[in-house]
Structure 1
Amino acid sequence: MFDILVYLFENYYTPQACPAADVLAKRLAAAGFEHEDIDDALGWLYGLAETTERCVDLAHVPSSGTRIYTDSEYQQVGTEAIGFVAFLESAGILPAPLREIVLERAYASPESPVPLAKIKIIALMVLWSQEAEIDNLVLEELLDDEGVRRLH
């Protein structure tokens, strides 16, 4: 599923450039992705769209508070992933409302705790869904999987 998300980022400049779900599914199948992975990715993207719609008005509201994570969040998302999200937030890359979208989408991941490489893709997709400007160095970090670039 995460390979499909990276593929979408690389091949569609904005989410609006993506075709309708049925056409996209056919294109992904033609690109060699498995149908189960395509269904998972499209479901995940649908969840992203729903979450983003609920939070979009808050995306540009400045936040001066500190996010405190519960023990269950640490277990579900993982210490390494939470640390990376906190880094993105402290660097000004991920505003608080987008952080919450990243965390919500991490909860939707089939893996627990979420590996660092996957939280990077989740963050990338959240930023992509908002058409946020992403600095090249940040983009390289988000596409880096322990020294292996995730470009197709």
Structure 2
Amino acid sequence: MFDVLVFVYENYWHGDACPELAHLERKLSAVGFDPEEIQDALTWLDDLTLAASGLRPPTPGDAPVSSTPMSDVLAWTPSPHSMRIYSIAEQNHLGASCLGFISFLESSGALSANQRELVIDRAMAATSDPLPLDDLKIIVLMVFWSLGEKPDALVLDELCEDTSGRIAH
């Protein structure tokens, strides 16, 4: 699924440029992706679009957003002094490296609390258990993509660069 998401991100830089799901499915199939992988990715993308619609300001002519659990979560603005407590299921599924990375993005100001919740929602929908950090980075990129936002250059570097060869000093 994540290979499909990377392909979509690379080929449709702006979420608005992405074709409708049926057309996208045909394109992905023509490129050679596995049908099951395509279906998983399209379902994941459709859910992302639905959840992200609660974060975007409405434009004239938008249809009303249906009440979904994620849109209910995004309907409030948390206090800047609030703290996110992760459930046991979230801790087990995301693991220490993903939770640390989310915390890093949020503390650096790259990820708002509402965006964090969207990232966690989409990460929990991923089937890998525990979720690899590289997959979480793709999820973060897709959240920015779905909101029509471009992450800061340093954050983008952190999300896209292979950091396994870095030496801490």
Fold shared per TM-score above 0.5: yes
The partner residue of 1:100 within 117, 129, 148 is: 117
Q: Using the alignment, how far apart are the partners of 1:53 and 1:2 within structure 2?
A: 22
Query: Structure 2: which 5+ residue stretches go unaligned?
Result: 58-73
What is the root-mean-square deviation in Å for CA atoms of aligned residues? 2.1
- Identity, % of aligned positions: 45
**Mapped partners of 1:59, 1:26: distance in 2:** 35
Give the number of the structure whose alpha-carbon radius of gyration is greater: 2
2:105 corresponds to 1:116:
no
Which ranges in structure 1 are unaligned for 5 or more consecutive residues? none
Task: Give the aligned partner of residue 72 of structure 1.
Answer: 89
Distance 1:11 1:59 in 2: 31
Question: Partner of 1:86 in structure 2?
Answer: 103
Residue in structure 2 matched with residue 30 of structure 1 by the alignment: 30
> Any runs of at least 4 consecutive aligned residues in structure 1 with deviations exceeding 6 A, and if so which?
none
Give the structure with the higher percent helix: 1
Deviation at 1:56, TM superposition (A): 4.0
Q: CA deviation at 1:140?
A: 2.3
SS in 1 for 2:138: helix
In structure 1, the residue corresponding to 2:53 is in which secondary structure? Answer: helix
TM-score by length of 2: 0.79
| TM-score normalised by structure 1 residue count | 0.87
The structural deviation recorded for 1:54 is: 3.6
CA deviation map 1:129-151 (0-9, x unaligned)? 11112122321221234559xxx
